[in-house]
Structure 1
Amino acid sequence: MEQEQKLAALSARVDELESRLAFQEDTLAQLNDVIAAQDSQIRALAAALRELGEKYGDLSFEMQGGSKASDEKPPHY
């Protein structure tokens, strides 16, 4: 009788651990999805920031009276 109670208690503990493991696996999958989405957003924001930085640099240079080297004709023309 005592053996059966120990076995039942052990079985209940295993069931609880399996339930917790399933919950943790689901949580990890959800977190992974969030991290992947954030990584994509960060990459897009970084690209947009680089583009804005380049535009700001070009605009700042033009406002100071300069011109882009690519817009100028070489001296032999």
Structure 2
Amino acid sequence: MNDTGHDALESRVTELETRLAFQEQTIGELNDALAQARLELSAQTGLLRRMMDDLRQARTVQFPDASEEPPPPHY
């Protein structure tokens, strides 16, 4: 292989190594973002569950028997 061919091959390998490093960095950043999103979703799910439990409890206190619940306004 002549010097021009060797230089071209070396340039291509360097370009591929650079792309690979960039892709590995991007995958790491995406993994971190996904992990953070999962943590946030878990926290929001827990909050929603607690709010629903509180709402059920408040409704039970206000209307202990569903048959005693007043009809909706459109009746």
Shorter-chain TM range is: 0.7 to 0.9
Counterparts of 1:3-22 in structure 2, within 5 Å, are 3-22=2-21
Which amino acid is 1:43 matched to?
A: S
Aligned to 2:72: none
Instruction: Compute the displacement of 1:4 (Å).
Output: 1.4
Identical pairs, percent: 32
Aligned to 1:23: 22
Which amino acid is 2:41 matched to?
A: I
What TM-score do the two structures reach when normalised by structure 1?
A: 0.79
What TM-score do the two structures reach when normalised by structure 2?
A: 0.81
Unaligned runs of 5+ in 1: 67-77
Aligned to 1:35: 34
Which structure has more RCO (C-alpha within 8 Å, separation ≥ 6)? 1
Unaligned runs of 5+ in 2: 66-75
| Partners of 2:17 and 2:57 in 1: CA distance | 60
Q: Please provide the CA RMSD for this pair.
A: 1.2
